[in-house]
Each structure stands twice: as C-alpha cells, then as structure tokens.
Amino acid sequence: AQKVTQAQTEISVVEKEDVTLDCVYETRDTTYYLFWYKQPPSGELVFLIRRNSFDEQNEISGRYSWNFQKSTSSFNFTITASQVVDSAVYFCALSERRGNTPLVFGKGTRLSVIA
Amino acid sequence: NAGVMQNPRHLVRRRGQEARLRCSPMKGHSHVYWYRQLPEEGLKFMVYLQKENIIDESGMPKERFSAEFPKEGPSILRIQQVVRGDSAAYFCASSPFTAGGPNEQFFGPGTRLTVL
C-alpha cells in the first residue's frame, strides 16, 4: 500500500529564514511519481512540482528546491529566504504509474512565516 | 483556457438533506477525480471517473455517496441524507489521458460543505 508521511504538522519561521519540509513515502512500485502542492489560506491547491522515480536530480525553482533521495524514500522541499506569502499548508503526494491514477496525500505541513 | 471549475464554492445543508457538487474539468480533459479534505487533514481520494464510466470508487463510502460524469455536462458528486461528519472541502481534479504515467492533476477551487 502507498503511504505518505509528513511528520511536521506545523512549522513557524521568521521571514528570510530557510525552511525544509520533510516528506517520506512508502510504495512497492518501482515506478512512481511524487508531487508537492501548496494550499494558501484561500483554500485552493497550487501545483508546485512533479518528479518521477527515475529522476533523482535535485531541482531548483527560484527560492524553492527539492531533494529526492530514493535510498531514504524522501522528497524534501526547501524554501530559501522565506517570505510571509509562503505561509500555507504544503502537501506531499504520491502516485503509482498505471496510467491515470489517484494521488495519495500526506496530512500536510502548515508553514507560518512571521514578519 | 479556463481551469477546473467547481460550484458551488460554499454549500450549507441541514442534516438529512441532499448535497450536489459540480465539477467542470478543463477543456480537453476526460478524467475527473474527487477528493475530500476533512478539517486539518490531507486530501483523501474518493472516486475516479472518465466520461460515462466510474474507473475507481474505492475511496467512496458505500452508502449515501454517488458520482457520475455524463457524456455532456459536469461531473456530479451527490451526497444523500447528509450528516455532520460530511462537512469537509471537496476537491475535484482533472487530467487528460496519458499512456505514459500519471499526469499533473489540475485541481479546482473546492466546494466547502457545511452540514448544520
């Protein structure tokens, strides 16, 4: 069975600090996809990134970076120089590769960035 | 190209009433997924549909809940005889068909159901 664990329920940082959100997953599939979504206070879900299990290259997009480590089944997300607008709930999700398949979400990490 | 649309955005029902939630996928998308987010929880998969077919309903409660995606019109998630525990945010996502693995699922803004 697939499972996604986000052990950090809430994190609070001061603006301009770096912060890392942890994500650990479980799957028996050798091919799978990992996702991060952001849910701001307005409630919608904003897609951030998708990685497949064969691509372990770290990715950077502006102040965001992702560290995928297959050996530890982790897909961590780092925000550099955090800003108040980063305050949101962040969800990590997993999907196995069988065509179009549903996502399995973690419970989310609530990030509060204080000015 | 409009995104995934859901309506209503907020829905209030009394116990025992019916709730109907609508989802219009993005243009060209033939796959729809419904997820439920209980307060302070992550999203949980409910049902996956293609036009006129239910592909996977393993996450949907067996009683009172049903979903459809007709040939014409939006996908509908129906909850009969709502109870307080049905209060949640219901998200719809759509994706195009792909043979090569899961697509990015585009999420709608959600419908927040409150049962009084």
Query: Alpha-carbon torsion A77, A63, A37, A13, what sign?
Result: positive
Q: In this prediction, what percent of chain B has a pLDDT beyond 90?
A: 76
Residues 6+ apart with CB under 8 A from A73: A24, A25, A26
CB–CB of B89/B112 below 8 Å? Answer: yes
Nearest CA-CA partner of B4 in B78, B79, B75, B56: B75
* Residue-wise pLDDT tens digits, B4-54: 999 999 999 999 999 999 999 999 888 999 999 998 788 999 999 998 899
Rounded (10°) CA dihedral A107, A111, A27, B67? 40
CB–CB of A74/A23 below 8 Å? Answer: yes
Q: Does position B69 have pLDDT exceeding 60, yes or no?
A: yes
* A52 at B interface, C-beta within 8 A: yes
The mean per-residue pLDDT over the stretch B62-69 comes to 96
d(CA A94, CA B28): 24
Mutate to test the interface with B, among A6, A45, A54 (most CBs of B within 10 A): A45
The mean per-residue pLDDT over the stretch B95-108 comes to 77
> Could you state, in chain order, the average pLDDT of each consecutive group of 10 residues for chain A (115 residues)?
93 97 94 92 89 85 93 95 97 83 92 96
At B103 the pLDDT is 66
At A92 the pLDDT is 97
User: What DSSP designation does B105 have?
Assistant: P
At A29 the pLDDT is 87
Partners of A107 on chain B (C-beta within 8 Å) are: 41-42
Tell me the pLDDT band of B58, cut-offs 50, 70 and 90: very high
CA angle B4, B9, B15 (to 5 degrees): 130
Q: Indicate the average pLDDT of chain B.
A: 92
For chain B, the maximum distance between any two Cα atoms, rounded to a whole number of angstroms, is: 44
Q: CB-CB: which of A44, A103, A107 is closest to B105?
A: A103
**Do you know the residue count of chain A?**
115
User: Does the distance separating the beta carbons of A108 and B107 come in below 8 Å?
Assistant: no
Mutate to test the interface with A, among B5, B43, B92 (most CBs of A within 10 A): B43
| Chain B: closest CA distance from residue A27 (Å) | 15
At A59 the pLDDT is 85
* B95 at A interface, C-beta within 8 A: yes
At B95 the pLDDT is 87
User: Does the distance separating the beta carbons of A101 and B102 come in below 8 Å?
Assistant: yes
CA–CA distance from B115 to each of A11, B11, B17, B20, B86 (Å)?
31, 8, 9, 13, 7
Instruction: Please name the amino acid found at residue B24.
Output: S
Distance from CA of residue A51 to its chain's centroid?
A: 11
